[in-house]
Structure 1
Amino acid sequence: MVEVGAGDTAIVDLGGVRKEISLALLTDVQVGDYVILHVGYALSKLDPEEAEKTLALFAEMNEAGSIGETAAA
């Protein structure tokens, strides 16, 4: 999360895209926290170490997908 907005909202960075989300379902969320999102709502906070592992896995999957697309072309 990169910014706390008005009311129960926040701005998050989703791979370089900033999006406004709702924090209505969570308490004690701060800038720098990682959250699980679904349809614009933050559902839970993630441990920073677990979040980094998850982001690395997504990057690896994206890279593997790109390699597969290139090989198929």
Structure 2
Amino acid sequence: MCLAIPGQVAELVPDSDDQLAVIDVVGVKRKINIGLLPPGSLAPGDWVLIHVGFAMSKVDEREAAEALAVLEMMGQAFDEELRAVAESDPV
């Protein structure tokens, strides 16, 4: 299963031949390779789905918010499952 995380373009990196952008993912900013997307297709404020350091596709804000919500639910469900296992009776 592949997991893509939504992030918002904070800035395009100058002198990178349209290959890099600084992307904000829930407050954490990282340089991401945008070379898989058409040149000139991104601007600050746009949203992308990121997988292993590459922007895989451009999405709208609604799609990004939905993906973040799903990731948050998955995290909560995983945390709850771990807590339930930890609290269960040992075999």
Task: Give the TM bin, normalised by the shorter chain.
Answer: 0.7 to 0.9
**How many angstroms apart in 2 are the aligned matches of 1:58 and 1:38?**
14
Separation in 2, partners of 1:12, 1:60: 22
Using CA pairs below 8 Å that are at least 6 residues apart, which structure has the higher relative contact order? 2
Q: Name which of 15, 36, 43 aligns with 1:25.
A: 36
Number of the residue aligned with 1:3: 11
1:14 aligns with 2:25: yes
Instruction: Percent identity, please.
Output: 37
Q: Report the number of matched residues.
A: 73
TM-score, length basis structure 2: 0.68
Shift of 1:54: 0.9
Mapped to 2, the partners of 1:55 and 1:14 lie a distance apart of 10
Deviation at 1:59, TM superposition (A): 0.5
Q: Secondary structure at the match of 1:55?
A: helix
SS at match of 2:45: coil
Where is the helix percentage greater, Structure 1 or Structure 2? Answer: 1
Question: 1:51 & 1:2 partners in 2: Cα distance?
Answer: 15
What is the RMSD computed on CA atoms of the aligned residues? Answer: 1.6
Residue 35 of structure 1 is matched in structure 2 by: 48
Runs of 4+ in 1 over 6 A off after TM superposition: none
Which consecutive residues of structure 2, in runs of 5 or more, have no partner in the other structure?
1-8, 87-91
